[in-house]
Amino acid sequence: MSKASNSFTCSVCGASYRKWAGKCEACGGWNTIVEEAPLSTGPKSLGAKGRTIPLSDLATEEPPPPRASSGIDELDRVLGGGLVPASAILVGGDPGIGKSTLLLQAAASFARKGLKCLYISGEEAAAQVRMRAQRLNLTDASVMLGAETNLRDILTTLDAERPQLAIIDSIQTMWLDSIEAAPGSVSQVRASAHELVTFAKRRGVAVILVGHVTKDGQIAGPRVVEHMVDTVLYFEGERGHQFRILRAVKNRFGPADEIGVFEMTGGGLAQVPNPSALFLANRDQPAPGSAVFAGIEGTRPVLTEIQALVAPSTLASPRRTVVGLDSGRVSTILAVLEARCGIPFTGLDVFLNVAGGLRVSEPASDLAVAGALLSAREDVAIPPDMVLFGEISLSGALRPVGQTENRLKEASKLGFSQATVPSHSKIEGATGLAVRQMPDLTAFVGEMFGA
Ligand code: TYD
Ligand code: MG
100 is in an annotated binding site: yes
Give me the sign of the Cα torsion angle 49, 55, 56, 60: positive
Q: Which strand (E) or helix (H) includes residue 246?
A: strand 243-251
Predicted-complex ipTM score: 0.96
Task: Express each pLDDT in 188-197 by its tens digit.
Answer: 999 999 999 9
Q: How far is CA 379 from CA 198, 290, 310, in A?
A: 59, 10, 9
**CA proximity to 93, closest of 212, 13, 224, 233:** 212
Q: Which class does domain 67-272 fall in?
A: alpha beta
Higher pLDDT pick, 230 / 59: 230
What's the pLDDT at 118? 94
Residue 3 pLDDT > 70:
no
What's the pLDDT at 1? 45
Ligand nearest to the backbone CA of 95: 1
Ligand nearest to the backbone CA of 133: 1
Q: Which atom of ligand 1 is nearest to the CA of 135?
A: 22
Neighbours of 326 (CB within 10 A): 16
Please tell me whether residue 266 adopts helix, strand or coil conformation: coil
What's the pLDDT at 451? 60
Lowest-confidence pick of 90-94, 282-286, 414-418, 426-430:
282-286
Mutation pick for ligand 1 pocket among 101, 103, 124, 236 (CB with most ligand atoms within 8 Å): 101
Q: How high does pLDDT run on average in the chain?
A: 89
Average pLDDT over residues 269-285: 79
- Say whether 278-449 and 67-272 share the same fold: no
Average pLDDT over residues 138-147: 90
d(CA 206, CA 105): 16
Ligand nearest to the backbone CA of 170: 2
Average pLDDT over residues 84-96: 93
Neighbours of 420 (CB within 10 A): 24
Task: Express each pLDDT in 374-430 by its tens digit.
Answer: 999 999 999 999 999 999 999 999 999 999 999 999 999 888 999 999 999 988 877
The whole-model pTM stands at 0.82
Q: Which atom of ligand 1 is nearest to the CA of 136?
A: 22
Residue with CA nearest ligand 1 atom 25: 268
Distance in Å, CA 138 to ligand 2 centroid: 17
Average pLDDT over residues 335-346: 95
308: left (phi over 0), alpha (psi -120 to 50) or beta: beta
Distance in Å, CA 180 to ligand 2 centroid: 25
Distance in Å, CA 134 to ligand 1 centroid: 13
Q: Which atom of ligand 1 is nearest to the CA of 268?
A: 22
Residue 377 in contact with residue 345, Cβ under 8 Å? Answer: yes
What's the pLDDT at 430? 78
d(CA 235, CA 245): 6
**CA proximity to 310, closest of 344, 265, 271:** 344
Residue 32 in contact with residue 11, Cβ under 8 Å? Answer: yes
Task: Express each pLDDT in 31-50 by its tens digit.
Answer: 888 887 765 555 566 777 88
Residue with CA nearest ligand 1 atom 8: 96
Distance in Å, CA 103 to ligand 2 centroid: 9
φ, ψ of residue 179 to 5 degrees: the values are -115, 125
Give me the sign of the Cα torsion angle 152, 157, 163, 169: negative
Give the full edge-to-edge strand order of the sheet including 290-297: 320-323, 348-354, 300-312, 290-297, 386-388, 418-422, 434-438
53 is in an annotated binding site: no
Domains of the chain by residue range: 1-39, 67-272, 278-449
* CATH match for 278-449 among 3.40.50.10420, 2.40.50.140, 3.30.365.10, 3.30.230.10: 3.30.230.10
What does the DSSP assignment read for 357-378? G-----GGGHHHHHHHHHHHHH
Burial of 223 (0-12, 13-18, 19+ CB in 10 A): buried
What's the pLDDT at 56? 78
Ligand 1 pocket, CB under 6 A: 93, 95-101, 132, 135-136, 264, 266-268
| Cα atoms in the 13 Å half-sphere on the side-chain side of 1 | 5
Average pLDDT over residues 433-440: 94
Distance in Å, CA 210 to ligand 1 centroid: 14
User: Radius of gyration of the chain from Cα atoms?
Assistant: 25
Higher pLDDT pick, 139 / 117: 117
Cis peptide before 170 (omega within 30 of 0): yes
Higher pLDDT pick, 287 / 307: 307
**CA proximity to 148, closest of 121, 109, 167, 175:** 121
92 is in an annotated binding site: no
Q: Which strand (E) or helix (H) includes residue 353?
A: strand 348-354
d(CA 440, CA 422): 7
d(CA 321, CA 389): 22
432: left (phi over 0), alpha (psi -120 to 50) or beta: left
Q: How far is CA 140 from CA 59, 104, 115, 178, in A?
A: 42, 13, 15, 38
392 is in an annotated binding site: no
Residue 174: partners with Cβ closer than 8 Å, 6 or more residues away:
122, 149, 151, 154, 168, 183, 188, 189, 192, 196
d(CA 23, CA 26): 9
What's the pLDDT at 38? 66
Lowest-confidence pick of 3-7, 28-32, 193-197:
3-7
Residue 262 pLDDT > 50:
yes
Average pLDDT over residues 293-301: 90
Lowest-confidence pick of 11-20, 55-64, 202-211, 377-386:
55-64
450 is in an annotated binding site: no
204 is in an annotated binding site: no
Distance in Å, CA 209 to ligand 2 centroid: 11
